[in-house]
């Protein structure tokens, strides 16, 4: 396609015309207009006129920046225009290159010569454009080719150019670390510059470098310390403080030296930004210096009292850092922190919430949770759920280590589920089930809380709480022996409004109803057995039973029939007359009597009829899980209902026989649910040892080819439709014979052959790890007095004092832990990262051959010590020659290694003198080279620095 004509260039649309055209587009027509404009730009950019090309490139750069139009095809025109003598054209070309060029751009190397020319230009603005472009598009080749020019610019007489060169050198270091050896010394020299722009650029460069690997820059601590003392520019001081925050933890002596200047800056400065950086440096890197920390906390208090939300947020952030080591600082500002929970700024409220959770301990957990729940009730949904999430994560941390009263916490979980904006149903569900499996003593309260959740119809319409209802239904069925009223529990599980629940949760409800029904019927049929429903519950007395029995203790005498009915295992224990408290004895007996009345034949029939009526329609449900579980329950009811119903009209003997047969059948059903579930370690799979020879990453794609010759018989295949291709004479037995279950000898031989050929695909039958599923029994709960609720708005010092000793009224229940023991987690060694190439080059430039010479001196001293040990007649130490110690002389080292006992003293003394003479000559040469290097370096003493800070500074 030919380039644009002169007439086309004359009527070329400008950037303003393009912008106006885009704004005038109708909705939906913008894309078509941009596509048409790009076609025009493609024609215009091929023009030989530089102004036409520049305007086209300007419009394309605009479209690329705001409308993400691809301009990679215009890379070469940008390179062409970069050589223009007009500064505006050059600026436009380099701007488009900075925005669109990437390491895969083919023509990027064509810019090398042009950038080199711009670096040597007399116009500082052209030099500045070239440096900015290099910092944006720098590649390995560009950095390598332009490093000599950068080295010259770092010593430019124009501070504007020098500042730009220092700012651009960081990207060059990243792409080409060898440039450090060329340019680093001149960058260090600029730390003594009198121009504030150059000094700020140099300090900013080191601020970025120390973030990556601060240890390499410890020898520059004297230069930074001088800037800290002399500079009065706040931004330079902020960057220096950031550098010292990284260096101070590496050298304790440095921290002692800089703490006083930093405190002085903090006292006298009026700049909030500098004051905050001083505070941040103190609380992060100088926390061992108590006076400095107290000064920083005083300044933090000023930030917290500011009306500016930004300053208040920064103060809360600094206080959060201090709280890790100095919790008293948070306690001193607790009122401000708690009031910040009502702040308008969301970020401030989140920081305050984190600080409140940092104050949590075993003693003040209940009070803090009261305060947070009160704020959650009056907060917007987002912050409400942040509060609830913080409570859940803090309380469940490290197997609920801060929780002493699990009954209180389970009740709290139930109350959290009723908060209108609660969306933490998944977390509450997980913790309810986890606590039920780990803490035995809390299961009674868990069932009580679950009952309250199940009978609350308002929760069924909240989709965020459906998982909590699923956990409540599961707990009620799994620990049904703790339930007080089976009929009431069954009504809550089968209430009509459960149709609002999703199908998986309804399936859990039906399965729990199955467990409740099985338990109730079995308990009725096995009256008097130790596993019966009443005997399980007499060991646990509900709070309502205590209250009712205490009111009627004088009016309800203890019946002898109740004590001898065989249902209460405590009836054989000593009575009140033998030393037992009569009130407690009566409470236990009256509770057992009330439980016994629930298991009459009429109550069991009511229970069965309730299940049958409610689950009958569900047997035809379209949901497979609901249909299957409902059919299972109805099938069991069909077997047991006639036997229970007919026992009322039969004689005593026939009734007993039928009850025995029904009891045996129900015992099988009851045993299926009686196995107690326990927690499973998260690392259980990792504990299974890998069989020797098993390659887990081995491809199993060849299994099909290996087993291709083995064809399964038709009778063992699975099909949803009966095959019609079978011979009419073929009959399928309803009950297969024993021979059909036993593998044939042919298939056994094929399996053995396959195992022999491909043994790596089989698990070894010998390495079996037997992990016991038993866990220690929980301790007995004791009564605990419930303190009166304190004010929900303010936390007193007594409730938040972490140093207060806990006055525990009852022992903490045992929490089953499977993941905190030895070997619970397999520690995976992390691969060691290689030293950063830039840091390695920096160490070489700063230390020169100092490190190498120090290591060689250590080796020489060690050899001399070994030689001295040879003179001892009892020594057996092996001596190695100086030549043999060098790398690459393994054979020489082999030949020259001799035993001290076999060598004569005279010969060893002679060799020692020769070795000392050679060593003296070698050390003289090293010192001579070292002195000449120092003279060549001139005023720059960095090369002579040791890896640590010199003592004269500290």
Categorise residue 836: left if φ over 0, alpha if ψ from -120 to 50, beta otherwise. Answer: beta
Confidence of residue 879 (pLDDT cuts 50, 70, 90): very low
> Going by C-beta distance under 8 Å and a sequence separation of 6 or more, which residues neighbour residue 882?
863, 915, 918, 919
Confidence of residue 404 (pLDDT cuts 50, 70, 90): very high
Condensed to tens digits (0 to 9), the pLDDT of residues 453-478 reads 999 888 888 899 999 999 999 999 99
Looking at residue 756, its pLDDT comes to: 60
pLDDT above 80: residue 243: yes
The Cα 657–Cα 344 span in angstroms is 74
Condensed to tens digits (0 to 9), the pLDDT of residues 371-386 reads 999 999 999 999 999 9
Condensed to tens digits (0 to 9), the pLDDT of residues 836-856 reads 688 888 888 887 755 444 444
The Cα 112–Cα 150 span in angstroms is 13
> 187-191, 274-278, 552-556, 663-667 — which is least confidently predicted?
552-556
> 6-15, 112-121, 449-458, 855-864 — which is least confidently predicted?
855-864
Looking at residue 920, its pLDDT comes to: 55
Token output for 869: 């040990």
Output DSSP code: residue 682.
Answer: T
Q: What share of the chain is helix, strand, coil (3-state, %, to 5)?
A: 65, 0, 35
Confidence of residue 522 (pLDDT cuts 50, 70, 90): confident
Among 618, 593, 601, which residue's Cα sits nearest to residue 514?
A: 618
Looking at residue 867, its pLDDT comes to: 46
Among 780, 772, 778, 783, which residue's Cα sits nearest to residue 815?
A: 778
The Cα 22–Cα 30 span in angstroms is 6
> 96-100, 265-269, 465-469, 944-948 — which is least confidently predicted?
944-948
CB-CB contact of 822 with 407 (8 Å)? no
The residues spanned by each domain of the chain are 407-484, 496-570+595-685, 847-907
> Going by C-beta distance under 8 Å and a sequence separation of 6 or more, which residues neighbour residue 756?
none
> Going by C-beta distance under 8 Å and a sequence separation of 6 or more, which residues neighbour residue 158?
124
Looking at residue 939, its pLDDT comes to: 39
Token output for 571: 């009836």
- Select the more confidently predicted residue: 862 or 84: 84
CB-CB contact of 82 with 112 (8 Å)? no
- Select the more confidently predicted residue: 825 or 126: 126
The greatest distance separating any two alpha carbons of the chain, rounded to the nearest whole angstrom, comes to 122
- Select the more confidently predicted residue: 10 or 50: 50
The Cα 277–Cα 544 span in angstroms is 59
Rounded to an integer, the average pLDDT of 501-513 is: 92
Looking at residue 370, its pLDDT comes to: 93
Over the range 323-359, which residues count as b (16 or more CB within 10 Å of their CB) and which as e? beebbebbbbbbebbbebbebeeeebbbbbbbbbbbb
The angle, 0 to 180 degrees and rounded to 10, between the axes of the packed helices 234-247 and 272-285 is 10
Rounded to an integer, the average pLDDT of 207-224 is: 92
Angle (CA) 83-84-87 rounded to 5° is 115
> Going by C-beta distance under 8 Å and a sequence separation of 6 or more, which residues neighbour residue 185?
845, 940, 942
> 313-322, 695-704, 745-754 — which is least confidently predicted?
745-754
Note the pTM of the prediction, 2 decimals: 0.64
- 494 phi/psi in degrees, rounded to 5: -115, 15
- Select the more confidently predicted residue: 720 or 276: 276
Rounded to an integer, the average pLDDT of 111-138 is: 93
The Cα 112–Cα 151 span in angstroms is 16
The Cα 78–Cα 53 span in angstroms is 9
Token output for 450: 């679950």
Confidence of residue 660 (pLDDT cuts 50, 70, 90): low
Looking at residue 663, its pLDDT comes to: 63
Among 291, 295, 307, 306, which residue's Cα sits nearest to residue 269?
A: 295
Confidence of residue 520 (pLDDT cuts 50, 70, 90): confident
The Cα 188–Cα 203 span in angstroms is 9
- Specify the long-range contacts of residues 139-142, CB closer than 8 Å, at least 24 apart: 139/103, 139/108, 139/175, 140/175, 140/176, 141/109, 141/112, 142/108, 142/109, 142/111, 142/112, 142/115, 142/175
Token output for 248: 């101070």
Rounded to an integer, the average pLDDT of 677-697 is: 77
Q: How far is CA 727 from the centre of its chain?
A: 63
Over the range 469-482, which residues count as b (16 or more CB within 10 Å of their CB) and which as e? bbbbbbbbbbbbbb
- 879 phi/psi in degrees, rounded to 5: -105, 140
Q: Is the dihedral of CA 496, 499, 502, 504 positive or negative?
A: positive
> Going by C-beta distance under 8 Å and a sequence separation of 6 or more, which residues neighbour residue 595?
484, 533, 534, 537, 538
Looking at residue 518, its pLDDT comes to: 87
Output DSSP code: residue 811.
Answer: P
> Going by C-beta distance under 8 Å and a sequence separation of 6 or more, which residues neighbour residue 428?
392, 413, 416, 417, 422, 467, 468, 471
Looking at residue 682, its pLDDT comes to: 74
The Cα 462–Cα 593 span in angstroms is 38
Confidence of residue 710 (pLDDT cuts 50, 70, 90): low
The Cα 39–Cα 18 span in angstroms is 13
Using a pLDDT cut of 70, give the percent of the chain over it: 64
Q: Which residues pair with 878 in a beta bridge?
A: 899
- Select the more confidently predicted residue: 501 or 802: 501
Condensed to tens digits (0 to 9), the pLDDT of residues 745-799 reads 544 555 566 556 555 444 554 444 444 444 444 333 333 333 433 443 344 444 4
pLDDT above 80: residue 281: yes
Could you write out the DSSP letters of every residue in 173-208?
Answer: HHH-TTHHHHHHHHHHHGGG-S-HHHHHHHHHHHHH
Looking at residue 924, its pLDDT comes to: 54
pLDDT above 90: residue 186: yes
CB-CB contact of 255 with 241 (8 Å)? no
- 495 phi/psi in degrees, rounded to 5: -65, 150
Looking at residue 754, its pLDDT comes to: 55
Looking at residue 699, its pLDDT comes to: 66
Output DSSP code: residue 219.
Answer: G
Looking at residue 561, its pLDDT comes to: 34
Among 241, 246, 285, 280, which residue's Cα sits nearest to residue 261?
A: 241
Over the range 528-541, which residues count as b (16 or more CB within 10 Å of their CB) and which as e? eeeebbbbbbbebb
């Amino acid at each position: 396609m030919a380039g644009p004509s002169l007439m086309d260039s004359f009527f070329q649309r400008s950037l303003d015309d393009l912008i106006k055209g885009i704004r005038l587009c109708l909705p939906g027509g913008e894309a078509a207009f941009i596509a048409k404009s790009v076609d025009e730009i493609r024609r215009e950019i091929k023009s030989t006129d530089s102004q036409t090309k520049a305007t086209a490139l300007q419009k394309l750069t605009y479209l690329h920046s705001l409308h993400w139009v691809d301009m990679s095809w215009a890379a070469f025109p940008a390179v062409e225009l970069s050589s223009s003598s007009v500064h505006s054209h050059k600026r436009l070309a380099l701007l488009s290159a900075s925005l669109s060029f990437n390491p895969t751009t083919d023509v990027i190397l064509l810019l090398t010569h042009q950038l080199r020319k711009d670096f040597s230009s007399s116009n500082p603005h052209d030099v500045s454009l070239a440096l900015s472009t290099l910092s944006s598009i720098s590649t390995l080749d560009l950095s390598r080719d332009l490093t000599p020019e950068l080295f010259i610019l770092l010593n430019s007489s124009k501070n504007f150019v020098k500042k730009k060169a220092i700012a651009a050198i960081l990207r060059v270091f990243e792409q080409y670390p060898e440039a450090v050896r060329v340019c680093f010394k001149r960058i260090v020299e600029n730390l003594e510059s009198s121009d504030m722009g150059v000094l700020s650029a140099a300090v900013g460069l080191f601020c970025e470098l120390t973030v990556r690997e601060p240890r390499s820059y410890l020898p520059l601590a004297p230069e930074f310390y001088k800037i800290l003392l002399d500079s009065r520019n706040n931004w330079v001081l902020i960057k220096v403080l950031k550098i010292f925050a990284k260096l101070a933890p590496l050298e304790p002596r440095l921290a002692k030296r800089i703490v006083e200047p930093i405190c002085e800056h903090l006292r006298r400065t009026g700049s909030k930004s500098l004051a905050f950086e001083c505070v941040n440096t103190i609380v992060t890197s100088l926390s061992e210096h108590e006076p400095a920390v107290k000064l920083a906390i005083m300044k933090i208090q000023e930030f917290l009292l500011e009306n500016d939300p930004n300053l208040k947020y920064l103060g809360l952030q600094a206080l959060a850092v201090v709280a890790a080591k100095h919790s008293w600082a948070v306690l001193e500002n607790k009122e401000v922190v708690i009031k910040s929970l009502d702040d308008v700024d969301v970020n401030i409220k989140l920081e305050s919430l984190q600080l409140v959770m940092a104050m949590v301990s075993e003693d003040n957990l209940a009070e803090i949770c009261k305060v947070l729940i009160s704020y959650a009730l009056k907060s917007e949904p987002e912050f409400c759920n942040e509060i609830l999430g913080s409570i859940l994560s803090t309380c469940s941390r490290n197997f609920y280590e801060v929780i002493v009263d699990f009954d209180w916490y389970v009740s709290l979980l139930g109350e959290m589920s009723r908060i209108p904006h609660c969306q933490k149903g998944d977390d509450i569900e997980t913790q309810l089930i986890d606590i039920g499996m780990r803490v035995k003593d809390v299961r009674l309260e868990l069932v009580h809380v679950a009952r309250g959740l199940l009978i609350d119809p308002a929760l069924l319409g909240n989709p965020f709480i459906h998982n909590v209802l699923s956990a409540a239904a599961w707990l009620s069925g799994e620990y049904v022996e703790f339930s007080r009223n089976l009929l009431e529990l069954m009504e809550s599980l089968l209430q009509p409004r459960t149709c609002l629940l999703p199908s998986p949760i309804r399936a859990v409800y039906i399965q729990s109803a199955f467990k409740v029904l099985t338990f109730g019927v079995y308990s009725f049929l096995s009256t008097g057995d130790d596993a019966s429903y009443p005997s399980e519950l007499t060991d646990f007395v509900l709070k309502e039973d205590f209250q009712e029995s205490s009111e009627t203790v004088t009016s309800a005498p203890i019946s002898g029939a109740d004590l001898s009915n065989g249902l209460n295992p405590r009836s054989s224990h000593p009575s009140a007359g033998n030393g037992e408290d009569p009130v407690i004895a009566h409470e236990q007996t009256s509770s057992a009597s009330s439980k016994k009345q629930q298991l009459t034949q009429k109550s069991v029939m009511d229970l069965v009829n309730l299940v049958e009526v409610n689950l009958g329609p569900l047997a035809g449900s379209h949901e497979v899980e609901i249909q299957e579980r409902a059919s299972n329950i109805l099938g069991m009811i069909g077997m047991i209902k006639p036997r229970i119903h007919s026992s009322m009209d039969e004689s005593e003997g026939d009734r007993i026989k039928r009850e025995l047969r029904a009891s045996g059948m129900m015992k099988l059903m009851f045993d299926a649910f009686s196995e107690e579930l326990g927690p499973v370690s998260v690392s259980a799979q990792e504990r299974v040892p890998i069989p020797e020879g098993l390659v887990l990453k081995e491809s199993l794609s060849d299994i099909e080819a290996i087993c291709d010759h083995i064809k399964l018989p038709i009778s063992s295949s699975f099909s949803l439709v009966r095959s019609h291709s079978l011979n009419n004479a073929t009959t399928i037995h309803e009950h297969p014979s024993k021979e059909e279950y036993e593998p044939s000898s042919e298939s056994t031989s094929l399996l053995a052959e396959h195992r022999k050929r491909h043994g790596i695909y089989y698990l070894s039958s010998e390495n079996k790890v037997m992990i016991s599923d038993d866990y220690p029994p929980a301790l007995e709960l004791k009564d605990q007095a419930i303190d009166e609720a304190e004010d929900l708005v303010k936390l007193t010092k007594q409730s938040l004092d972490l140093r207060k000793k806990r006055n525990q009224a009852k022992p903490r229940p045992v929490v089953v832990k499977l993941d905190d023991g030895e070997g619970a987690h397999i520690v995976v060694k992390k691969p060691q990262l290689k030293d950063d190439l830039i840091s390695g080059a920096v160490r070489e430039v700063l230390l020169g051959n100092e490190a190498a010479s120090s290591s060689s001196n250590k080796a020489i001293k060690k050899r001399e010590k070994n030689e001295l040990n040879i003179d001892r007649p009892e020594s057996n130490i092996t001596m190695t020659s100086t030549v043999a110690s060098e790398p690459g002389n393994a054979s020489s080292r082999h030949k020259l290694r001799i035993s001290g006992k076999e060598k004569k003293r005279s010969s060893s003394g002679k060799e020692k003198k020769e070795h000392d003479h050679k060593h003296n000559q070698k050390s003289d040469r090293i010192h001579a080279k070292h002195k000449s290097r120092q003279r060549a370096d001139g005023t720059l003493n960095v090369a002579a620095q040791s890896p640590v800070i010199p003592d004269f500074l500290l």
